Amino acid sequence: MDPRVLTQAVRDGVRDGLKPAGEAPPTYFVTLSSSAVQQPANRFTTALPSALELSGGRWSCALVGVALWWTAFNVNAASRNTDFDFYDGTSWHTGSLRPGSYNAIALIQAIYDEIATLTSTTIADSITLTVDESVLGFYLVLKDGCEVDFSAGGSSRLNIMLGFAAGVISGPQDERIYAPNQANISDISSLQIRCSAVQSYTNGIPGSTLYTVTPSVGPGALYAVNPAYPVFVPVGGTSISSISIEIVDQDGRPVDFNCGDFPFETNPASVSLLFRRDS
C-alpha cells in the first residue's frame, strides 16, 4: 500500500481517500458514499482507487461513522397497516392512509384527514385519537355512537401499530379507551450495517455485520452516528479492491429508504471505516 495519501476524486466512491492514520500499528481510514457511486443508500459497492493490502498480521475493521436520512416508510401496503374502518353513527367507511413515514402526531392527523374526506359532516369531535407519551401509547375517545376498527376486519395491522386489539372498538362512549399494548410506530427497531470486508459471527453463524444502530430521529431527519468506542471486527481478506455496504433491519430485511427514481441523489448514505493491524 502506498503510504502517501490517495486523493482520488469523489466519483470513485472514496470521499476522503485512503490514508495511513499512523505508523504503529498501521491503520487506514476509508469513507464510502452511496451518492458517489450513484447507487441506493441501502446497498452500494465502491471500487477503491487502490487496493488495500492488509498483510503482515491480523487486521480488523470498525465503523467510526455513519450518516443516512431516516426515510423508511412505516405505513405501506407491504406492512399491511394502511386501512381502518370507522362508523360515523350512520354508516361504516373504510379509510386508507397514504404510504409514508409518520411519527405519532402525523399519523393521528392522517387518520383525521381520511375520516374528514370520507364523511360529509365533520366528526372530528366524535372520534378523537391521542398519544399519551407518558405510557408510550394511544387512547381513543368516542362520542355520538361512533365506532372504530383499526384492524379493518382483520385485513390491517394498523391496530398493532397503535397498540389496540383487533376488532371493533365501540365504547364506553365519552371516556378514554386506552390501547392495551404499547404503540409500535415503526417495525424497524434497529439497523445492521453489513460490510463485505469483514467476517463476523452471530450464534456461530458467519456473516458480515459490522455494527448495529438504533435510529433515534423522527421521519425525514438526518441520522448520524460516530461511536465513541468503535467495535473492531476481523477482516476477511488480505487484499481488498472493493467494499460493499448493505443496510438491513433487525430481521435481516433490506431497508427501503423510499428515495424515488434517483435514490443516490435524494437520500444518500455515507459510512466511514477504520482498518487497523492488530498483530
Please report, for the domain that includes residue 195, its CATH number.
Answer: 2.60.120.1100
Question: For residue 3, is it within any domain?
Answer: no
* Low-confidence residues in the chain, pLDDT < 70: 1-25, 120-124, 259-267
pLDDT of 123 = 67
Q: Which grid coordinates are listed for 225?
A: 452516528
pLDDT of 17 = 44
Give the separation between CA 82 and CA 197, rounded to whole angstroms: 39
Q: 20 preceded by cis ω (within 30°)? A: no
Q: Are residues 193 and 264 in the same domain?
A: yes
pLDDT in tens, 269-279: 999 999 999 87
Question: For residue 151, is it within any domain?
Answer: yes
Tell if the pTM clears 0.75, that is, is over it.
no
Question: For residue 4, is it within any domain?
Answer: no
Q: Are residues 129 and 205 in the same domain?
A: no
pLDDT of 9 = 31
Q: Are residues 97 and 233 in the same domain?
A: no
Question: For residue 213, is it within any domain?
Answer: yes
Q: Are residues 102 and 159 in the same domain?
A: yes
The count of domains in the chain is 2
Closest CA to 180 of 200, 191, 166: 166
Q: What is the DSSP string of 101-144?
A: ---HHHHHHHHHHHHHHH-SS--TTTEEEEEETTTTEEEEEE-T
Question: For residue 44, is it within any domain?
Answer: yes
Question: For residue 170, is it within any domain?
Answer: yes
Q: Are residues 67 and 195 in the same domain?
A: yes
Last residue of a domain, one of 155, 178, 201: 178
Spell 12-37 as b/e; 16+ CB within 10 A means b.
bbbbbbbbeeeeeebebbbbbbbbbb
The whole domain housing 252 covers 10-72+188-277
Q: Say which residue the cell 397514504 belongs to.
A: 98
DSSP one-letter code for 100 = B
Last residue of a domain, one of 159, 178, 197: 178
pLDDT of 23 = 55
Q: Say which residue the cell 398493532 belongs to.
A: 160
pLDDT of 100 = 87
pLDDT of 265 = 53
pLDDT of 1 = 34
Last residue of a domain, one of 178, 209, 244: 178
